[in-house]
Amino acid sequence: MKDTFKHKGLRQQLVNVVKGKGITDEKVLKAIGNIPRHLFMDSGFLDHAYQDKAFPIAADQTISQPFTVAFQTELLQIKPNDKILEIGTGSGYQTAVLCELGARVYSIERQNELFKKTSKFLPKLGYRAKKLIFGDGYIGLEEEAPFDGIIVTAGAPFVPKPLLSQLKIGGRLVIPVGDDVQTMTLFIRKGPKKFEQHDYGEFRFVPLLEDKN
Ligand code: SAH
């Protein structure tokens, strides 16, 4: 698990690319600059780690594009110590970004293979989520609710109700909604039954699936 000057240089270029695409939050950019993304990928893709692209990981899933990770994270407006729920742990890259921002992170993954792999890997890099869970993101994590923020990193055909109800008042849910193409959507909880909704354009994610395996 090596992180060389070459990797650091490539990473700085990636930060500039992401910045050029409109990300302004310095803390988010710093997190992208700090995290050795190449270590989150299978060896066959190491050369691609610092391109602003999604790439395959295990179990037919993908590590999200850095711009997308930055975009979703920026929308969450995380403050240190915020309690954040992530749906779709995958490679753990997004989880690491949340940890870098000082969040207390709970993350759910439905693929057992990825859950096991990432549970071992993240602590090796020093990223300690509060809890990684093998389970179904559609139901959220009632026992730890309410959350300051919830981020869904797979395309949701609809907005799961439990995720809205597990937000604090003032809390933010960032979720790509749609089937083949998704609209990045932000819900801000304004009251027990009141949510403000904002749309942020089209993205493409692997689908949020029902039934775990
Ligand atoms: N955040 C990840 C992105 C992984 S892609 C990263 O940075 O690498 C989306 C992930 O969502 C996949 O790992 C997939 O297995 C997972 N997923 C799909 N449906 C899910 C569900 N219902 N509950 C939890 N995770 C799910």
The CB of 68 under 6 Å from ligand 1? The reply is: no
Contacts of 147 (CB under 8 A, 6+ apart): 83, 84, 85, 106, 166, 167, 168, 171
Kindly give the distance from the C-alpha atom of residue 208 to the centroid of ligand 1, in angstroms, as a whole number.
7
Tokens 């604090």, located at residue: 168
pLDDT at 213 over 70: no
> What span, in angstroms and rounded, lies between the C-alpha atoms of 48 and 45?
5
pLDDT at 211: 64
Q: Is the pTM of this model over 0.85?
A: yes
Kindly give the distance from the C-alpha atom of residue 58 to the centroid of ligand 1, in angstroms, as a whole number.
11
pLDDT at 210: 83
Q: Could you read off the pLDDT of 160-196 as tens digits, one per residue?
A: 999 999 999 999 999 999 999 999 999 999 999 999 9
> What span, in angstroms and rounded, lies between the C-alpha atoms of 143 and 147?
11
Kindly give the distance from the C-alpha atom of residue 196 to the centroid of ligand 1, in angstroms, as a whole number.
25
Amino acid in position 137? G
Catalytic residues, which ones? Answer: 64
pLDDT at 59: 86
The CB of 212 under 6 Å from ligand 1? The reply is: no
SS3 (DSSP) at 44: helix
Which domains are delineated in the chain?
5-203 (3.40.50.150)
Question: Mean pLDDT of all residues in the chain?
Answer: 95
> What does residue 89 show for φ and ψ, rounded to 5 degrees?
-60, -40
The CB of 75 under 6 Å from ligand 1? The reply is: no
The CB of 63 under 6 Å from ligand 1? The reply is: yes
- pLDDT class of 159 with cuts at 50, 70, 90: very high
> In terms of Cα–Cα distance, which of 63, 48, 46 is closest to 14?
48
